[in-house]
Every structure is written in structure tokens, then in C-alpha cells.
């Protein structure tokens, strides 16, 4: 028997509880597909009940004992959830059609950055790929926005099969890499492998990776592999995997300070080499290699500041109606510089100081995982500061939640997931502000609860453990 339970129950009881919860999540996953064609309880109903069952499953696996049958059951249900969503068309997003289209364009020996999909120069590709073309969003005015390593993946995947179903399958297989790396890390950190349930059963991932096939799955896989390589002190692999993640989705760049070991030039050199190589492969289009990035900045309100909830909240205060976006961004730069320095110092301390040892105990990490709290804080802070409008942008936070379970992270990720399925997820800046006002208030409460619990632990429990 593994683990200790305050209830002192037997592992078969844990497995029975998880089996019931897994069957419930499986039924809800099937209901998700049904809702797209026939309203029964609505997407918000499916999302809400999925979050509740996931929370119960999480509480079960973190507190009750397990045996050798628990992990296969967890993984089996995780695969089943995703197989249900594999064949039906994507429901909540059409981004995956652009992935496949970019691959098809490359197989015609044309750079995916050169033309918008609706350009007459690509008209010969439409008939053989009509389903892809008809479902591409922004096809008449937006070039692709995806970085070069993402384009490598699109090329390779469509070389095997240029269908949306196969693209979704590829993204699910990338999840397999994430699960492998996380299980290896859990074992290395002295934790139970069964805690992978926090990833495998997460409804946000079932919807956004399994159903919509978002590219974030590939970025998560390389992030998880980079964390594993950093734990094993393999700088070249760390740089290769982190560089690949950055060149799929730019946001993993924020993790660099926490993964960079002092006096190590191999890791950053690998990132630079990969970036140079990948961009050179598409250099024939010049500055068009950055695609729709500039248009996205304007479209998403990043330029005006309406994208940033914390800035918009500040503008509601008396006398601060004209708070400037550049000033907000300057404040973020200063704040992130301080957090990045703290993360780098923490990750590069040979013998963990008392404060770092406290973080390791709080997150149940061994000393070799001293770099992990910095990765969590950098990733979480970035998302809170930039307040993404789409739930799949938060998918990459889930692996950090597996390695360092904490209430605020899951409240934030699953809160946005649920609220986006309600009427607040209408997609306007006004509705998004109301959504974030609720979400950030709940996250703040979660932070306070987490702080109270961890403060009590550090004051009363941790000293007794040291004495013992």
C-alpha cells in the first residue's frame, strides 16, 4: 500500500471512488459532443459538473492510499476521455484547421508565411482541401502567426496525413510525452505517480487538447521534457526542449531564468542556435516570417491595454482613468525582472537556504527540485498579468500544478475554463472584463486560503517535522 490516508481506508476503496468519478467524467465528455448538436444541459453545465468531478478526483488521489491498479486505471480513463473527442469535429475553436492548412501549403513548396489562405496564389490547394479552407478563421486577411518549430510540426504531421483528425491525434500523442515526463519527475521528487491524475483527468485539457487539438499540447510536452532535463542536469537537452517550446508558443521564454544554471552556456546557446536555424529555414519571406503577430497585438487589445484586466481595473479607480499602457508594461518589466532574479538565485543555490527549504517542504519537493517553484511563479504571474481571454492559453499551467499542487492555479485555470462556457464568454472586451472581475476575486480568495494554510504549516507543523 502506498501513501497515508487520514481516513485509513483501503486502496480498493480509493479505486472504487475513482472508477465512479471516471465514469462520470466519461459520460460528461460524451455529453460535450452531444451538446454541440443538441442542447441538453449546455456547455456551462458540462463544464461545471466536469470541474466538480475533477475536484473530487483530485482530493481523492491526494489524500487516499493507492495500489498497483490505480495508475493504469487513471491512465486508461485519461485515454478514453480523449478518444471520445478524437473523431468529432472541433467544437470550441477552429485553430486546428490553420495548422493543417499550413502543413499543406508547405508540401506545395510555398512558405506558410507568404500568403493569406484566401490569396488567389493558393487557389489550387482549395479543392483538394476544401474542408480545411472553409473552416480557417481570418483566412482573408491574416497570415499564419505560428513560429517556425510549430511549422516544422505541421509539415511533419501533414506529411503522414493532412486531416484534422490526424492533427488532433498528434496533439494527443504529444500529451503522452507530457505524461511521461511528469511521471518521471514525480518519481524523482519522491511523489506518487498516481498524482498524474491532476493532468490526465483535467477537463480543461480534455476540451482544449482532446476536442480542439490546440498546439499548446506540443509546447507543454517540450516544457515538461525541459523540466525533466533540468532536474537531471542535462543542459543541452534543457536548451533544446525549452527552445522548441518557445518556438512553438513564445510564452515559455519566461521560464528561462529558473532553468538557467549558473556558468552554463550550453543551455542558452542551444536555444539561440535552434532559433537561428529555424528562422533561417523560412528567411526567404523576410519580415513576413513574423506573420500576423502585429495584427494579433491590435486585435486582442494588447496595444491599447484593454487586454490587461489589472490595468483596466486600475483605470476604474478615481483619478486613474488615464493610466497608460506603457507605464503598466514598464511596471511588469520591473516586477518580472525581480521575480526572474529570485527564481535564478533559488535555482542556483547548491544548498537550499531556509526560505527555499520551506518552499520545497510546502510543495513536497526534494532539494533537486529547487528550481521548480520559480518556474511556477514565473508562469503563473505572466498569465495573471496578461489575463488571456481563451482558456487554452492556461493549459500550460497544469503541468506545474501537477508537480506543485496549489489551489490558486487550479482555481484560475478551471475558473476561466468554466466561465468561458457561460454567457460571460461572449468574446467582447466588456463581457471579458466582467468575467475577469469574478475570476480574479475568486483567485484572490484562493491565494488567501492557500497562504493561511501554508503559513500554519510553516509555523506549527514544519518545526515539529524538523525536530522529529
Over the stretch 67-78, which tens digit does the pLDDT of each residue have?
999 999 999 999
Is 99 or 40 the better-scoring residue by pLDDT?
Answer: 99
pLDDT at 1: 44
Q: What is the mean pLDDT of residues 1-26?
A: 81
pLDDT at 458: 58
pLDDT at 135: 95
Q: What is the mean pLDDT of residues 347-368?
A: 66
Residue 137 and residue 94 in contact, taking contact as beta carbons nearer than 8 Å:
yes
pLDDT at 254: 97
**396: CB partners within 8 A, 6+ apart:** 216, 219, 220, 223, 249, 251, 252, 379
Q: Is the pTM of this model over 0.75?
A: yes
pLDDT at 368: 79
Q: Kindly tell me if the per-residue pLDDT of 362 is higher than 70.
A: no
Confidence of residue 361 (pLDDT cuts 50, 70, 90): low
Which backbone phi and psi does 152 adopt, to 5 degrees? -60, -45
Residue 391 and residue 216 in contact, taking contact as beta carbons nearer than 8 Å:
no
Element housing 376 (H / E): helix 372-386
Which cell numbers hold the place of 437?
472581475
> Which spans in 38-69 are helix H?
42-63
pLDDT at 413: 97
Task: Summarize pLDDT for 272-301 with one digit per residue, the tens.
Answer: 999 999 999 999 999 999 887 777 777 777
Confidence of residue 12 (pLDDT cuts 50, 70, 90): very high
Task: Summarize pLDDT for 401-458 with one digit per residue, the tens.
Answer: 999 999 999 999 999 999 999 999 877 888 999 999 999 999 999 999 988 877 766 5
> What's the DSSP call for residue 460?
I
pLDDT at 117: 96
Q: Kindly tell me if the per-residue pLDDT of 48 is higher than 80.
A: yes
Residue 302 and residue 290 in contact, taking contact as beta carbons nearer than 8 Å:
no
pLDDT at 325: 87
Q: What is the mean pLDDT of residues 357-375?
A: 76
> Which of 109, 86, 106, 108 lies closest to 98 in space, CA to CA?
106
Q: Kindly tell me if the per-residue pLDDT of 7 is higher than 60.
A: no
pLDDT at 3: 47
Weakest mean pLDDT among 48-52, 235-239, 283-287: 283-287
CB atoms within 10 A of CB 107: 13
Task: Summarize pLDDT for 298-343 with one digit per residue, the tens.
Answer: 777 777 777 899 999 998 888 888 888 889 999 999 999 999 999 9
Q: Kindly tell me if the per-residue pLDDT of 265 is higher than 90.
A: yes
Mean pLDDT, rounded, of the chain: 90
Strand partners, 2: 66
pLDDT at 356: 60
Q: Kindly tell me if the per-residue pLDDT of 21 is higher than 60.
A: yes
Q: Cα(269)–Cα(402) distance, rounded to whole angstroms?
A: 29
pLDDT at 359: 61
Q: Cα(383)–Cα(167) distance, rounded to whole angstroms?
A: 27
pLDDT at 358: 62
- How many CA within 13 A on the CB side of residue 17? 20
Q: Kindly tell me if the per-residue pLDDT of 104 is higher than 60.
A: yes
Q: What is the mean pLDDT of residues 97-121?
A: 96
Amino acid at each position: 500500500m502506498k501513501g497515508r490516508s487520514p481516513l485509513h481506508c483501503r486502496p480498493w476503496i480509493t479505486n472504487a471512488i475513482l472508477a465512479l468519478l471516471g465514469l462520470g467524467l466519461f459520460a460528461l465528455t460524451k455529453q460535450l459532443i452531444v451538446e454541440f448538436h443538441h442542447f441538453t444541459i449546455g456547455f456551462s453545465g458540462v463544464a461545471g459538473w466536469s470541474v466538480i468531478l475533477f475536484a473530487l478526483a483530485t482530493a481523492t488521489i491526494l489524500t487516499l492510499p493507492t495500489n498497483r491498479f490505480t495508475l493504469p486505471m487513471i491512465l486508461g480513463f485519461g485515454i478514453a476521455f480523449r478518444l471520445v473527442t478524437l473523431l468529432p469535429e472541433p467544437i470550441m475553436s477552429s485553430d486546428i484547421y490553420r495548422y493543417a492548412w499550413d502543413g499543406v501549403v508547405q508540401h506545395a513548396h510555398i512558405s506558410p508565411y507568404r500568403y493569406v489562405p484566401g490569396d488567389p496564389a493558393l487557389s489550387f490547394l482549395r479543392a483538394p482541401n476544401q474542408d480545411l479552407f472553409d473552416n480557417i478563421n481570418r483566412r482573408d486577411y491574416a497570415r499564419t502567426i505560428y513560429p517556425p518549430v510549430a511549422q516544422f510540426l505541421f509539415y511533419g504531421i501533414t506529411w503522414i496525413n493532412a486531416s484534422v483528425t490526424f492533427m488532433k491525434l498528434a496533439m494527443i500523442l504529444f500529451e503522452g510525452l507530457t505524461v511521461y515526463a511528469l511521471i518521471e519527475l514525480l518519481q524523482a521528487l519522491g511523489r506518487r505517480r498516481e498524482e498524474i491524475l491532476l493532468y490526465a483527468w483535467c477537463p480543461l485539457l480534455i476540451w482544449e487538447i482532446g476536442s480542439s487539438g490546440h498546439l499548446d499540447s506540443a509546447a507543454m510536452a517540450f516544457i515538461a521534457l525541459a523540466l525533466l532535463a533540468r532536474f537531471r542536469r542535462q543542459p543541452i537537452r534543457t536548451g533544446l526542449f525549452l527552445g522548441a517550446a518557445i518556438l512553438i508558443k513564445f510564452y515559455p521564454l519566461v521560464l528561462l531564468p529558473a532553468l538557467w544554471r549558473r556558468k552554463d552556456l550550453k543551455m542558452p546557446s542551444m536555444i539561440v542556435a535552434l532559433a537561428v536555424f529555424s528562422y533561417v529555414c523560412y528567411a526567404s519571406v523576410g519580415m513576413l516570417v513574423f506573420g500576423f503577430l502585429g495584427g494579433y497585438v491590435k486585435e486582442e487589445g494588447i496595444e491599447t491595454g484593454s487586454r490587461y484586466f489589472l490595468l483596466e481595473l486600475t483605470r476604474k479607480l478615481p483619478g486613474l482613468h488615464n493610466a497608460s499602457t506603457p507605464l503598466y508594461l514598464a511596471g511588469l518589466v520591473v516586477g518580472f525582472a525581480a521575480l526572474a532574479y529570485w527564481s535564478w538565485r533559488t535555482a542556483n543555490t547548491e544548498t537550499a537556504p531556509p526560505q527555499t527549504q520551506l518552499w520545497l517542504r510546502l510543495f513536497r519537493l526534494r532539494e533537486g527540485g529547487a528550481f521548480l517553484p520559480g518556474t511556477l511563479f514565473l508562469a503563473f504571474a505572466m498569465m495573471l498579468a496578461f489575463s488571456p481571454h481563451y482558456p487554452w492559453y492556461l493549459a500550460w499551467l497544469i503541468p506545474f500544478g501537477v508537480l506543485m499542487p496549489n489551489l490558486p492555479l487550479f482555481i484560475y485555470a478551471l475558473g476561466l475554463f468554466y466561465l468561458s462556457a457561460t454567457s460571460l464568454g461572449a468574446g467582447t472586451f466588456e463581457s471579458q472584463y466582467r468575467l475577469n472581475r469574478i475570476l480574479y476575486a475568486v483567485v484572490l480568495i484562493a491565494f488567501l486560503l492557500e497562504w493561511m494554510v501554508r503559513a500554519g504549516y510553516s509555523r506549527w507543523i514544519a518545526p515539529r517535522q524538523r525536530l522529529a
